Structure 1
């Protein structure tokens, strides 16, 4: 329960104004957190009663009769406290932050959808958060389609909602887990800010239902060699796409978005230095000797350090707008994947090859060559050994295949 007390600025060690008066504050304490809100009057220390008595009219006499407006200010203090009390009592969740918003008339009954939209705007405004904005915006749009124009309040995030939304996604061929995983941090932030005090059922649901495993596609070394040896017209788009894929393999499975944005200044003394766009982690690695057969096509002594290594993004285009950059990266990824399908046909590889298959192929190759999962974790820049274990478990285990051959011949 919130408590209220009128105090003079001198109590807070404030400096007096030019006329010797101090601002009058209402101290509101909620959950042991005090907050101070000024009113439109200030009085001198000699006119202030730090231990006021209750008058016959039910109003505490903070301001002494020596002040010409004592009755008016005392009544204002009393009315202000009652108004604050009413606002706080009306709050469904009473936290210091919500109390502050209510008193300053900033509070509203934000719905989950409204709060979600606000978080998206925060992500979108930060150039470093454009990937996060893209992922969370996709889920937000899924949710809007499900709601069909209706709002979604915090108190509607029930087991019934979770079941209905999952069934909706299942009908579309999705299990909903990815959506719940993205909605959950939004709800956690709302809980942290005091907009909701219920359980995070979205997180519970995401943890309860394990995501159905999908086998990660990876190329064998023989298939990779077939890609390398394909005779393609030098300088053509399909030639650049093949080189791009092979170099992503040599670049420790670098993600396509990072490769698209790789600039010549990030290649120094036989190493590549870059910030991973997805995780914002810094990465640096030695360029393998075999990579230069393909990389040398793009390294020229007269090239500008700020030019892109690969010819997919234009050096004359401004990519500072995060939304525009996301769309461009998506477009270029789709284009590269389209040509990778053609390349797979030419190399007679019966697999669905995408840009990410280069990463899977590197992980599979590293596991079979070195077997040290901690080193593979470092190569892939995973957050934990467990993440790497799960990642590798979805790749075909070559050692088990070889053991099968030994058993059955």
Structure 2
């Protein structure tokens, strides 16, 4: 996100749009290439970028600044609305911290009152059906291939009510005890204990022969990560997620699934199959939501029976 702000600050409004976009893409390719080199440090790179121009202060982030930044993100960075919203949330978080630390006065806060308002639009959540899940389970794949590992990770997430893929990749054998999974979500640091379903146990059995110790990662994507380096774990997790998304597209084709098979759809698929058969309180626990209202709103995406019955009652009466 900070790099995107930097691109905005460097934006020459008189330059042709295509040239601006090509420049952004070229710099992005160079960053990716540099990040793969030994000794690369992302934070040092960001510091170097911003040390060249110290002209941006919190007081400069006005409503007009944010309005122009949004236009830039959509028109030049080609970001979706939700991505732009995430950028604004990040800026707002930094601003709140700066006010709390006394770095900037509250009167400069661009999100106050009727100023810039962050609106998160509801999105349509679509999950797989039970029959589509079975296709993924039964499709023939070469053992130890990338697509085979992808299928295993995705199903493992689904079997535990849609655990976030980043959490799955970072799970270690030490998280398994007495037939249960004990883990803490990276997102909100909530601890959880769940019985290991038979289906998940079957996947774990594939990987037990490669287990080196209790502190070893279950899945192969972080096997060579430096466990003392949070950055290395973060980078390898991010790269693993990118690889998974790539092979999930191939998996969808093999299984004749036309829905967008992504990492996060494992969570939506569990919700879709659960429907209204599980109490909201139990779903709240499975989803690790802090607020029951969040669970009810989330699950409303997958409960269609009442609306379907009402439609039939009108059309077929």
Normalising by the smaller structure, the TM-score range is 0.7 to 0.9
User: Which structure 2 residues correspond to residues 95-244 of structure 1 after superposition, within 5 A?
Assistant: 139-148=1-10, 151-171=55-75, 172-175=78-81, 176-199=84-107, 200-202=109-111, 208-244=117-153
Does residue 397 of the first structure (1) align with residue 306 of the second (2)?
no
Shift of 1:218: 1.3
**Structure 2 unmatched ranges of 5 or more:** 11-52
* Counterpart among 363, 379, 387 of residue 271 in structure 2: 363
Asked whether the equivalents of residues 177 and 206 of structure 1 are also in contact (C-alpha less than 8 Å), the reply is: no
The normalised TM-score by structure 2 is: 0.76
CA distance in 2, matches of 1:333, 1:403: 39
Does residue 385 of the first structure (1) align with residue 292 of the second (2)?
yes
CA distance in 2, matches of 1:206, 1:260: 41
User: Which residue number corresponds to residue 339 of structure 1?
Assistant: 247
Shift of 1:341: 0.7
CA distance in 2, matches of 1:155, 1:291: 52
Shift of 1:194: 1.4
Structure whose residues are more often strand by fraction: 1
CA distance in 2, matches of 1:247, 1:310: 10
CA distance in 2, matches of 1:153, 1:302: 50
Count of aligned pairs:
268
User: Which residue number corresponds to residue 376 of structure 1?
Assistant: 283
Deviations, residues 105-159 of structure 1 (Å, cap 9, x unaligned):
xxxxxxxxxxxxxxxxxxxxxxxxxxxxxxxxxx222212111256222322322
CA distance in 1, matches of 2:161, 2:171: 14
The structure 1 segments of at least 4 consecutive aligned residues displaced by more than 4 Å after TM superposition are 203-207, 300-303
User: Which residue number corresponds to residue 217 of structure 2?
Assistant: 308
CA distance in 2, matches of 1:147, 1:354: 33
Asked whether the equivalents of residues 162 and 205 of structure 1 are also in contact (C-alpha less than 8 Å), the reply is: no
Q: 1:390 to 1:166 in 2, by over 3 A?
A: farther
**Structure 1 unmatched ranges of 5 or more:** 1-138
* SS in structure 2 of the partner of residue 297 of structure 1: helix
CA distance in 1, matches of 2:148, 2:115: 42
Shift of 1:396: 4.2
Deviations, residues 231-253 of structure 1 (Å, cap 9, x unaligned):
11233222221121111101221
CA distance in 2, matches of 1:302, 1:323: 24
* SS in structure 1 of the partner of residue 194 of structure 2: strand
Asked whether the equivalents of residues 232 and 238 of structure 1 are also in contact (C-alpha less than 8 Å), the reply is: yes
CA distance in 1, matches of 2:264, 2:211: 31
Shift of 1:401: 6.4
* Counterpart among 286, 299, 309 of residue 195 in structure 2: 286
Shift of 1:198: 2.7
CA distance in 2, matches of 1:348, 1:365: 19
Asked whether the equivalents of residues 271 and 285 of structure 1 are also in contact (C-alpha less than 8 Å), the reply is: yes
Higher relative contact order (CA 8 A, sep 6+): 2
* SS in structure 1 of the partner of residue 182 of structure 2: strand
Shift of 1:269: 1.0
* SS in structure 1 of the partner of residue 174 of structure 2: helix
Deviations, residues 50-107 of structure 1 (Å, cap 9, x unaligned):
xxxxxxxxxxxxxxxxxxxxxxxxxxxxxxxxxxxxxxxxxxxxxxxxxxxxxxxxxx
User: Which residue number corresponds to residue 251 of structure 1?
Assistant: 160
User: Which structure 2 residues correspond to residues 54-93 of structure 1 after superposition, within 5 A?
Assistant: none
* SS in structure 2 of the partner of residue 374 of structure 1: helix
Structure whose residues are more often helix by fraction: 2
Asked whether the equivalents of residues 164 and 264 of structure 2 are also in contact (C-alpha less than 8 Å), the reply is: yes
